[in-house]
Amino acid sequence: MLTTRLPKQIEPYKLAANRERLEGLAALDAMRRLGEEIGAQQGDCEVRLSFDIDTQGRRLMDGQLLAHVQMPCRRCLEFMPVTLESRFLLGLVSDDSLAGELPSDYEPVLVENEQLNLLSVVEDELILSLPQVVYHDEADCAVSRDQLESGADAEVSEQRPASPFEVLRNLKGKL
């Protein structure tokens, strides 16, 4: 089990040159944008990062994330546990124009002044790994299947809707 905290800022080019590995925890309650998406969170995200240089001389960061969060069920709106997992490969670039030169399996990450806000990168990856929608199992949800049904199908009217120009004709006749 990981017990150390990740540093907020890193020098990724040095880490890649030394082929370093970082493992640690990132506090979920410090991730403001994640909180805006799914609500305030408690606990930590487990992070494992490997820095390397590929055969073309590009610096990269290979990472894995694991976090247990609480998200609202879309049926009953009660919070439920959800496990977020992400595996990613980031190409470190110092300029936006270099991002286009990366292979398609690398996602670019911009490194400014040889510094990288690591917690921001972790938060981005967690947000990208959020499921579109989450639901409790039917047996566990506070909203039953009967409550979700709309009842009898609405009767289809046989009448044709009035033409929108019919109103104009009536107004013209009154003038």
pLDDT of 80-104, one tens digit each? 999 999 999 999 998 888 888 888 8
List phi, psi (to 5°) of 28.
Answer: -70, -30
Cα dist from 169 to 159, 160, 161, 172, whole Å: 20, 17, 16, 5
Q: What is the pLDDT of residues 109-135, one digit of tens each?
A: 999 999 999 999 999 999 999 998 888
Cα dist from 62 to 50, 74, 91, 170, whole Å: 5, 33, 9, 71
105 residue type, one letter: D
3-state helix, strand, coil in the chain (%, to 5): 25, 35, 40
Segments of 41-141 assigned E as strands: 44-53, 59-72, 79-93, 107-110, 116-117
Q: Are 66 and 83 in contact, with CB atoms under 8 Å apart?
A: yes
| Res 99: pLDDT | 84
Q: What is the pTM of this model?
A: 0.75
Cα dist from 34 to 12, 21, 38, 49, 110, whole Å: 24, 25, 6, 20, 20
| Res 130: pLDDT | 94
- With 0-12 / 13-18 / 19 or more C-beta atoms within 10 angstroms meaning exposed / middle / buried, residue 95 is exposed
Q: What is the rounded average pLDDT for all residues in the chain?
A: 86
Q: Are 60 and 52 in contact, with CB atoms under 8 Å apart?
A: yes
Residue with tokens 């820095």: 51
Which sign does the torsion angle of CA 126, 38, 138, 140 carry? Answer: positive
| Res 159: pLDDT | 59
Higher pLDDT, 168 or 13: 13
Can you tell me the distance from the alpha carbon of 105 to that of 123, in angstroms, rounded to the nearest whole number?
A: 20
Can you tell me the distance from the alpha carbon of 157 to that of 164, in angstroms, rounded to the nearest whole number?
A: 18
